[in-house]
A and B are shown apart, each in its own frame.
Chain A
Amino acid sequence: MIAGNTSILISTFYLGETLWGLDTLDAQEVIRVPDITQVHNADDYVLGIINLRGKIVTIIDLSRKLGIGSSTISESSKIIIVEWKGEHIGLMIDAISDVIDIDKSSLTSAPAAMNGTRGGFIDSVYQTGKQLIAIINVRTVLEVTEDERESLA
């Protein structure tokens, strides 16, 4: 593997049966699913809030946010804590997989028809031998759009 800035560490995880990835630098930690306090009347992709060492962290249903259904919490479910605009946010995933070290040049842009590409949620895709891993853009995924605010208001 080539060291230095041409390589990138990708944390991969499952949403349903699909393998996804995000830049490891975006992830703060991965935690087990604690008790989630539901926030009634919040947007449907908000699963609720948790107490993460004294901080209130919003938990987002990543599947729903990406428009690929919704997640069911199981034994293997995990929450990836990411930091966004100074706030900690948890992304609910169905299972965590490996961290892979890949060369940036092996990333290609996402095919237009892919789920989640419309919102700019997918940065790029990585083709492994058997699978295609979509790498999400945490910032666009978490951006609160005007539409959403209005629909909530």
Chain B
Amino acid sequence: MSAMDMNDETLLTYLEESREHLANIETNLLNIEESGADIDEELVNTVFRAAHSIKGGAGFFDLSKIRDLGHKVENVLDMVRSREMVPTPEIVNILLISFDKLKEMVNNPAFSNDEDIEEFVRALAGLTAETLPPEKKESVSGIVDIKLPDGRVIMQMNEFEYNQTVANNNYIYLVQYDLIKDIHDSDSSMLDFHRNLVGIGTIENTVTDFAAVGTLDGEILKSIPVYMLFSTIVNPGKIISLFEVDDSRITIIHDPSPSGEDLTDSVEVPAVSLPVQEPPSPATPVVAAPIVESPPVVAEVPAAVPQKPAPVKAAPKKTAPPEASSTLRVKVKLLEQLMTLAGELVLGRNELEESINQEDLKAIASGGQRISQVTSELQEAIMQTRMQDIGSILSKFPRVVRDLSRQLNKQMNLNIVGKEVELDKTLLEGLSDPLTHMIRNSVDHGVELPEARKLAGKNPVGTIDLRAYHEAGQVVIEIEDDGNGIDGNIIAAKAVSKGLVSQNEVDSMSAKAKVELILLPGLSTAEKVTDVSGRGVGMDVVRSNLDKLGGTMEIDSVMGKGSVFRIKLPLTLAIIPSLLVSVNKESFAVPQLNVEELIRIQPKDIKDSIERLGTSEVLNLRGKLIPLVFLSDVLGIKSTYTDPETGVESDDKRKQAIDRRADNNSENDTIYDEVRIGNDRRYHAGSVLNIVIVSSGNISYGILVDNLHESMEIVVKPLGRHIKSCKEYAGATIMGDGSVALILDIAGIASILKMSAVTSTIQSQSEDETEVSKLGQDRQSFLLFRNSPEEYCAMPLELVGRVEHIESSSIQIVGGKRIMQYMGKGLPIIRLEDSAECKAIPEDNLAVIVFNGFGREIGLLAMRPVDFIEDEMLVDHTSLRQPGIMGSVIIDGNTTMILDVYEIVEKLYPDWTRDTTLTASGSINKTESNGDKPLVLVAEDSTFFRKQVVKYIEGMGVDVIAGEDGEAAWKLLVESKKKVDLLVTDIEMPNLDGYGLVARVRADSKYADLPVIAVTSLAGDENVAKGKAIGINDYQVKLDKEMLLESIRKYI
């Protein structure tokens, strides 16, 4: 066989046509299956014709395997058509996989002849043979010789097929064409001939008679005879004109009319004797044998079916990317409209050129208007060419559902509504996989087994509704099942156990939000991993695919009733409505899809609306905290602030202010003001803040921009390769004035900033609470100040109540102790030098840091400026250790002393602490009946706080063991040989948080009575209530030593 020319236009046409034929076969076959014995002839005919034309064309191109398989399929369909065979699910199954194979081969014609179709052929032949009466069975493997008038055997035909054709009262003609004279010289192709004939009969076979061509050495080829075996009911009188060859080249092999019998005789239909014939195709004996032996072998045919996927799966490796998508069908009417518009455009241009030459301004204006009108019409029309019926992807689902439900022993109906809804081509392509995944999910996890459904009082046959419709300029696709629904609590528990969300967040979620946690990456709910789904990648992949398409997903689920998955998609990706914003006179487009709302904050409201959370600013929007980012920071644009004094230099300064800014207690108004007005010009009293609240998936945040502009439809243009890696941008667009604006990628920016969905769901706490940043696990927040110009100091931010600027004159010395009037009370003032050896604090530029301890407020003197830092840092607890200094860290290259303010107080006011120690020892004695010191278990993730807490508790004269998270503490608890008398735990911890730990403790009867004290910075009423509910005995705010120790004394 000669190598095929894969670029041959005729071949390409054939392949294209075959693909079209194959496209609808699945649906039709499924309908045939549904009707069962009640055959819809027209439907069967449609499928039959498809198989037939594929087979017929394949003959011309020497695609022998396609031809053979097509032929066998045709036989089975023929029997269905003639009601000799009832299309049972098994039969349809075999037909389906055979068509799959055909499709695969048609998509990959170059390799089709190397495909192994043996199994398919065998299964199909088996079907044919199985339904035949015994006396006809042998004919399945028999062969009929087709001879030329001169007696030469030119081709062979399967005896069974021959008999079928004859039985249908067909004439059989053998026609001789000449490839050179008839085809080449008349400037047509075999395919044209083929097309002409397909409507009126069946091309059984085509053979090129190479024997008649002679040798190449001889004369120049004058003719290449091709013989075609054609069966039709058309009688010889009429057929000659159809063949377009003179009748001498037509041989009638069989004539069904009684008068024509002699003709058949002359051709001598051979009484075939099997052994004498050439070896029949190897498949046939295999099938014939078992069938003769025992009828039950029927079962063997379907049994072979599950093995089928093997060859099918192996194939895609060499399969070229589906070519079907490289062409697009456009309605002729639309094309004509485009032509008209193009004509209009040319006219408009001519008119405009003319007017420009004549310098007729009025005419120019009208010409411009005309062109603008035509352009928008043209744009609309061109967009329409990209719109395709969603039916093209929905129609594959009946098959998917059918196959899957059979595999899972479930029963279900799939109803599809809205196949005619049109979507942009690229969207459709991207939608196919996510939808398939979701349908499979519904079948696998959604709909229950028939028995379970019966028990639940439902119809044992499940229903899946797949709906597509337009709504508010978007396309909505719904997948609804009447299955068991999704248990939001199970999803939530799983999400918590996998550390994807915290228990806190889950508790504040609605049922719907809990169900939608299923969209989080890394969460697969299938308790049992099945073949079908539940491999750990699941809905999150669907979600990320949808995100790429600009789509969103909602889930509604009612336990026991079913679930609805709702996908919303833009109509097209190429043109999107966008909001224009600007920073430093540079314009950017934000896709409207991502825009939630626009907010302008007046200068006077800034203080109330914007809060600090860790290193970032957040907007308090109706009780929800939304992280804020400056677009200029994200993109590294220098600010436009025009202050001649600060100028360019201020940019760097501001950056530093951002970097160094840390968590804060909002009572610290002085610090706020200092940072805002002193260093951060962005919060300058005169500036209004423009914030675009955007969302992507379940992440939402606010983008601060200089100006908000209009909303407009923009055409998305892709960015070049050199910029592709910039995740900030989704593309670019050309503005009305010809300039280029970049389109912001909201999801991309979130990922660059490592924003997580978690930050956005933190519930707002009441004003006076301290929030701890969730960034990083070993991060520490410190308040930075100096004791003297060279002595850098820090104290844990959690201890700080407020910072006040004071004059040294306001401090009085009473009885050797410093005190100042503060909010109507005397505030004891301590200095580092009171306890540690260090330089004296200067007299001016002072601040007092107010903290709580020993049941009262105490002030620490510090040098301004006071700043914050939050960073991962290693505290050195030994080198600089002295009373009042617990250790040191390096911050910005300076060795910074970390103060232990309690030690300073203890040194200065020994009587305050004496009470404590006394009571402490007293209470300890109570429990010392067993002669042992009590044992306290501490769970705290921050190394710094763990050391502090341990030190404090050890100071009470008890034994302490400590773990760095819930898991570690649990392990210590379980493994401890000594009974643990008290658990002191942090709430926010990695791996297993405080709530999780307590829940575990309470769940174990051994520890049911173990007292638990939570030490946390999250001490809102809600949290306290919640903690109490799960069994936390007491709550202590991080980190008031006195209160903590007092609480501990209560429990041991």
- From A35, A41, A57, A87, B739 is in contact (CB under 8 Å) with A35
Q: Mark B713-734, 1 if CB is under 8 A from A, else 0.
A: 0000111111101101101101
Q: Is B191 an interface residue (CB 8 A)?
A: no
With A51-B739, A60-B722 in contact, is A40–B635 under 8 Å at CB? yes
Residues of A contacting B719 in the complex (Cβ-Cβ under 8 angstroms): 39, 49, 56, 58
Contact B725 A49 (CB under 8 A): no
Residues of B contacting A85 in the complex (Cβ-Cβ under 8 angstroms): 721
A147 nearest CB across to chain B (Å): 12
Chain A interface size range: 20 to 34
Contact A152 B725 (CB under 8 A): yes
Q: Mark B738-763, 1 if CB is under 8 A from A, else 0.
A: 11111000000000000000000000
B737's closest neighbor in chain A, by CB?
A35
Contact A46 B723 (CB under 8 A): yes
Q: Is B246 an interface residue (CB 8 A)?
A: no
With A37-B732, A41-B636, A42-B726 in contact, is A49–B740 under 8 Å at CB? yes
User: A55 to B738, alpha carbons, bound, how many Å?
Assistant: 11
Residues of A contacting B725 in the complex (Cβ-Cβ under 8 angstroms): 148-149, 152-153
Q: Is B586 an interface residue (CB 8 A)?
A: yes
Residues of B contacting A40 in the complex (Cβ-Cβ under 8 angstroms): 635-637, 728
- From B721, B726, B732, A41 is in contact (CB under 8 Å) with B726
Q: Is A4 an interface residue (CB 8 A)?
A: no
Q: Mark A23-64, 1 if CB is under 8 A from B, else 0.
A: 000000000000101111111011001110011111010000
Contact B723 A37 (CB under 8 A): no
Q: Mark B621-658, 1 if CB is under 8 A from A, else 0.
A: 00000000000000111000000000000000000000
Q: Is A1 an interface residue (CB 8 A)?
A: no
Contact B586 A38 (CB under 8 A): yes
Residues of B contacting A51 in the complex (Cβ-Cβ under 8 angstroms): 734, 738-740
Q: Is A112 an interface residue (CB 8 A)?
A: no
Q: Is A66 an interface residue (CB 8 A)?
A: no
With A50-B740, A56-B740 in contact, is A39–B721 under 8 Å at CB? no
Contact A56 B720 (CB under 8 A): yes
B251 nearest CB across to chain A (Å): 56
B715's closest neighbor in chain A, by CB?
A54
User: A75 to B357, alpha carbons, bound, how many Å?
Assistant: 30
B345 nearest CB across to chain A (Å): 14
A15 nearest CB across to chain B (Å): 18
Contact A58 B741 (CB under 8 A): no
Q: Is A89 an interface residue (CB 8 A)?
A: yes
Task: Classify the interface of chain B: helix, strand, loop or mixed.
Answer: loop
Task: Classify the interface of chain A: helix, strand, loop or mixed.
Answer: mixed
- From B635, B637, B720, B721, A49 is in contact (CB under 8 Å) with B720
Residues of A contacting B586 in the complex (Cβ-Cβ under 8 angstroms): 37-38
Q: Mark A128-153, 1 if CB is under 8 A from B, else 0.
A: 00000000000000101000110011
With A37-B739, A40-B636, A51-B739 in contact, is A56–B732 under 8 Å at CB? yes
Contact A49 B723 (CB under 8 A): yes
Interface centre among A40, A43, A89, A144 (most CB of B within 10 A): A40
Contact A89 B720 (CB under 8 A): yes
User: A21 to B586, alpha carbons, bound, how many Å?
Assistant: 35
Q: What is the size, in residues, of chain B's interface with A at 8 Å between Cβ atoms?
A: 23
With A42-B723, A87-B721 in contact, is A49–B636 under 8 Å at CB? no
Residues of B contacting A152 in the complex (Cβ-Cβ under 8 angstroms): 725-726
Contact A55 B717 (CB under 8 A): yes
Contact B722 A144 (CB under 8 A): yes
User: A124 to B81, alpha carbons, bound, how many Å?
Assistant: 73
A40's closest neighbor in chain B, by CB?
B635
B739's closest neighbor in chain A, by CB?
A35
Interface centre among A37, A149, A153 (most CB of B within 10 A): A37
Contact B636 A144 (CB under 8 A): no
A143's closest neighbor in chain B, by CB?
B721
Residues of B contacting A54 in the complex (Cβ-Cβ under 8 angstroms): 734
Contact A37 B742 (CB under 8 A): yes
A57 nearest CB across to chain B (Å): 7
Residues of A contacting B740 in the complex (Cβ-Cβ under 8 angstroms): 35, 37, 49-51, 56
A31 nearest CB across to chain B (Å): 13
A139 nearest CB across to chain B (Å): 13
A99 nearest CB across to chain B (Å): 26
- From A35, A49, A153, B732 is in contact (CB under 8 Å) with A49
> Which residues of chain A from 95 to 147 have a CB within 8 Å of any chain B CB?
142, 144
A55's closest neighbor in chain B, by CB?
B717
Contact B739 A58 (CB under 8 A): no
A86's closest neighbor in chain B, by CB?
B721
A148 nearest CB across to chain B (Å): 8
B742 nearest CB across to chain A (Å): 7
Residues of B contacting A89 in the complex (Cβ-Cβ under 8 angstroms): 720, 722
B688 nearest CB across to chain A (Å): 24
Contact B720 A58 (CB under 8 A): yes
A151's closest neighbor in chain B, by CB?
B725
User: A151 to B731, alpha carbons, bound, how many Å?
Assistant: 20
Contact A41 B722 (CB under 8 A): no
B1009 nearest CB across to chain A (Å): 54
User: A85 to B723, alpha carbons, bound, how many Å?
Assistant: 15
User: A81 to B829, alpha carbons, bound, how many Å?
Assistant: 72
Residues of A contacting B636 in the complex (Cβ-Cβ under 8 angstroms): 40-41
Contact A56 B718 (CB under 8 A): yes
A84 nearest CB across to chain B (Å): 8
- From A35, A46, A55, A153, B722 is in contact (CB under 8 Å) with A46
Contact B734 A39 (CB under 8 A): no
User: A148 to B720, alpha carbons, bound, how many Å?
Assistant: 14
With A37-B739, A37-B742, A51-B740 in contact, is A42–B635 under 8 Å at CB? no
Residues of A contacting B722 in the complex (Cβ-Cβ under 8 angstroms): 42-43, 45-46, 58, 60, 89, 142, 144
Residues of B contacting A149 in the complex (Cβ-Cβ under 8 angstroms): 725
Interface centre among B636, B723, B738 (most CB of A within 10 A): B723
B636's closest neighbor in chain A, by CB?
A40
> Which residues of chain B from 848 to 904 have a CB within 8 Å of any chain A CB?
none
Q: Mark B368-384, 1 if CB is under 8 A from A, else 0.
A: 00000000000000000
Residues of B contacting A50 in the complex (Cβ-Cβ under 8 angstroms): 740
Residues of B contacting A35 in the complex (Cβ-Cβ under 8 angstroms): 739-740
User: A91 to B1010, alpha carbons, bound, how many Å?
Assistant: 73
User: A56 to B723, alpha carbons, bound, how many Å?
Assistant: 11
B583 nearest CB across to chain A (Å): 9
A142 nearest CB across to chain B (Å): 8
B719's closest neighbor in chain A, by CB?
A56
With A37-B741, A39-B742, A41-B636 in contact, is A57–B720 under 8 Å at CB? yes
- From B637, B723, B728, B731, A58 is in contact (CB under 8 Å) with B723
Contact B726 A39 (CB under 8 A): yes
A30 nearest CB across to chain B (Å): 19
B703 nearest CB across to chain A (Å): 14
A60's closest neighbor in chain B, by CB?
B722
A140 nearest CB across to chain B (Å): 14
A145 nearest CB across to chain B (Å): 11
Interface centre among A35, A41, A87, A152 (most CB of B within 10 A): A41
User: A46 to B720, alpha carbons, bound, how many Å?
Assistant: 11
User: A45 to B723, alpha carbons, bound, how many Å?
Assistant: 11
Residues of B contacting A42 in the complex (Cβ-Cβ under 8 angstroms): 722-723, 726
A79 nearest CB across to chain B (Å): 14
User: A58 to B740, alpha carbons, bound, how many Å?
Assistant: 11
Contact surface of A with B, Cβ cutoff 8 Å: 35, 37-43, 45-46, 49-51, 54-58, 60, 85, 87, 89, 142, 144, 148-149, 152-153
By Cβ-Cβ distance, the 10 closest A-B pairs, closest first, are A58-B720, A40-B635, A152-B725, A37-B740, A56-B717, A56-B732, A51-B734, A51-B740, A58-B722, A42-B723
Could you show 9 A-B contacts with beta carbons less than 8 Å apart?
Answer: A35-B740, A37-B741, A39-B723, A40-B636, A42-B726, A49-B720, A51-B739, A56-B732, A58-B723
Q: A37-B740, A49-B732, A56-B720 are in contact. List 19 more A-B contacts (CB 8 A).
A: A35-B740, A37-B586, A37-B742, A39-B742, A41-B636, A42-B722, A43-B722, A45-B722, A46-B723, A49-B723, A56-B717, A56-B734, A58-B720, A58-B721, A89-B722, A142-B722, A148-B725, A149-B725, A152-B726
